Amino acid sequence: MRTVGVEEELLLVDPVTGEPRAQSAAVLARAARDDAEGDVFEKELHEQMLEFATHPQSDMNRLHEEIARCRKEAAGHADSIGCAVAALATSPLRVAPAVTMNRRYRWMEEQYGVVVQEQLVMGCHVHVSVDSDEEGVAVIDRVRPWLPVLTALSANSPFWQGQDSAYSSYRSRVWSRWPSAGPTELFGSAECYHRRVADMVATGTILDEGMIYFDVRLSRRYPTVEFRVADVCLDARTAALLAALARALVDTAAREWRDGVEPAAPSVSLLRLAAWRAARSGLTEELLHPATLRRMPATAVVEALLDHLGEALAASGDLDRVRESVAALLRDGNGARIQRELFERTGSLRDVVAECVRRTLAT
C-alpha cells in the first residue's frame, strides 16, 4: 500500500488579539531545544508561519493521529513564547508580513517584490509514494482535472487583510501569482517532465527546482508525487481526508496508466478556470465537473470524485471513512464556511481567530 505524508503550514498568532506574530525563529529554537524530533518543524517564507511534516504512513487513522499530535506540539512550543497556532490559510486580520531573512528568501524578495510580501498563505501539501518518476509523471498527467475539487474541499481562506475576499480559497489566488505555479500541460514521460523543469530553471526566472510550483509535482527529496492545491485545513480530519483522496487519485491514475488508458487532455486555460471556480465557490455553489468542465452543484462534483475513486478507496480500506468524512464536511462546512458563520455570529475577526485556534487543536 502506498504511503502518504502531509506537510502543514500554520499561522502564528497573538493568543489575545489574534494578530499574526513574527516569531517562527523563536518557536523553532524552542522546538529544537525541547524535542528529540525537533526537525519535524521547519521555517517558511514568512516569520509568521510554522511548517511541520508527518512521517510517511500507510494507515489513514495513524496519519490523522500524527497530524493532530504535530499540531499540539506546535501549539506547545508556540505557547512557551507567548504565541498560539491557527490552521488558517490566510490571516483574517490585517498583517504586515515579515520575510524570513536568509539568502534564498532575500533573493526571492528582490526578484518578485510585492508578490513575496503578500505570500503569507498557509497550505497543506500531500506526498504520495510512487514506484518511479515514470509512474509519477503518468499520475501527474491523469489527476489534473480532479485537483480543483481538492481545493474546494479544503477551502479555508475567505478573509484577506481584514475583509471578506468573496473567495472561499483566496490563498490559492495569491499563490497563483508565482510564475511557475498552477496547472500544467500533459508531459507524457519523465524525460519530458525533467526537460521542462530544466528549461524553466535555465531561464533564470526561478532560482532552482525547488521553485517548481506546479499543482502536482515530483518531489525533489522523496520518491513521491506532491499535491500542492489545498489550503491548510481548519480540522485535522479534513487534512486526513485529503490525504486519503490524494492516495486514491494516485492509485487510480497509476492503474489507468498500466492499463494503457490515455489521460484526459483539457487545456491549461480550462483547468485555470476550474481552479478559479473552486477557489471562488468552495463547497457552497457550483464547480466545474472534471469530465465535462461545465458547471454543476458542488455536491454532485464531489460525488463524481468519489465515484471515480471508489475502487481505489475500497482496495485501501478507506471508502467508508472517506464517505463519512465527506458527508460531515458537506453538512458542517469547510473552513471557509465556518469562518464566515463565526464572523456573522460575532461580528469580530478576532473572535474568528480565537475560535479557529481552538478548532486547530480539536481531534
Give the model's pLDDT for residue 37: 57
**Are the beta carbons of 289 and 173 closer than 8 angstroms?**
no
Q: What are phi and psi of 197, to 5 degrees?
A: -65, -45
Cα separation, 51 vs 41, in Å, equals 6
Return per-residue pLDDT of the chain as tens, 363 residues.
999 999 999 999 999 999 999 999 999 999 988 775 557 898 898 999 999 999 999 999 999 999 999 999 999 999 999 999 999 999 999 999 999 888 999 999 999 999 999 999 999 999 999 999 999 999 999 999 999 999 999 999 999 999 999 999 999 999 999 999 999 999 999 999 999 999 999 999 999 999 999 999 999 999 999 999 999 999 999 999 999 999 999 999 999 999 999 999 999 999 999 999 999 999 999 999 999 999 999 999 999 999 999 999 999 999 999 999 999 999 999 999 999 999 999 999 999 999 999 999 997
For domain 102-360, the CATH class is alpha beta
Q: How many residues in total does the chain contain?
A: 363
What is the identity of the amino acid at 132?
S
Give the model's pLDDT for residue 348: 98
123-177 pLDDT, tens per residue?
Answer: 999 999 999 999 999 999 999 999 999 999 999 999 999 999 999 999 999 999 9
Cα separation, 223 vs 253, in Å, equals 16
Cα separation, 118 vs 339, in Å, equals 21
Quickly count: other Cβ atoms within 10 Å of residue 211's Cβ. 17
Domain residue limits, the chain: 102-360
CA dihedral defined by 224, 230, 234, 238, rounded to 10 degrees?
Answer: -60
Please tell me what DSSP assigns to residue 194.
Answer: H
By C-alpha distance, which of 197, 174, 11, 180 is closest to 111?
Answer: 180
